[in-house]
């Protein structure tokens, strides 16, 4: 729950609504500080909250443990998927540009139609 609270405001609101109680006192304190920070600043950001937590050594230590988990989760999951998707989209766009240029230079209407069909197929892959 701590991990989600550090990256998603909805998790903070759910925590407060459900009155979640952590069995670990350090995590209870961290959860309360995250909620307090969110309400004070109107948003939650891991790096800003980390700077805020530097004033309290115990809070900082608990946060370090939680942030390590968040970073690993983000890197291993969504960030990799997003990166691969961006690469794929870039390649598709480059191929579409190449084919569009080829089609503009082509004088044979049948060849233009074939190239147009390839472009349409590539655009359908984007979706």
8 Å CB contact between 46 and 7: yes
pLDDT value, residue 1: 79
Phi and psi (nearest 5°) for 8?
A: -145, 120
pLDDT value, residue 60: 87
Q: Has residue 76 got a pLDDT over 70?
A: no
Mean predicted confidence (pLDDT) in 31-53: 88
CA distance 109 to 111: 5
Mean predicted confidence (pLDDT) in 75-101: 78
SS3 content of the chain, % helix, strand, coil (to 5): 85, 0, 15
Q: Has residue 116 got a pLDDT over 80?
A: yes
Torsion of CA 38, 80, 61, 31, to 10 degrees: 30
pTM for this predicted structure:
0.52
pLDDT value, residue 25: 85
pLDDT value, residue 28: 86
Structure tokens at 39: 């309400």
């Amino acid at each position: 729950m701590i991990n989600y609270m550090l990256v998603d405001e909805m998790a903070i609101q759910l925590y407060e609504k459900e009155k979640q109680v952590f069995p670990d006192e350090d995590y209870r304190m961290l959860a309360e500080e995250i909620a307090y920070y969110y309400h004070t600043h109107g948003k939650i950001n891991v790096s800003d909250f980390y700077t805020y937590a530097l004033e309290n050594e115990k809070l900082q230590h608990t946060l370090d443990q939680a942030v390590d988990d968040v970073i690993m989760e983000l890197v291993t999951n969504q960030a990799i998927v997003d990166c691969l998707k961006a690469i794929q989209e870039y390649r598709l766009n480059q191929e579409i540009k190449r084919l569009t240029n080829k089609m503009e230079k082509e004088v044979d209407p049948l060849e233009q139609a074939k190239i147009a069909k390839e472009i349409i197929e590539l655009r359908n892959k984007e979706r």
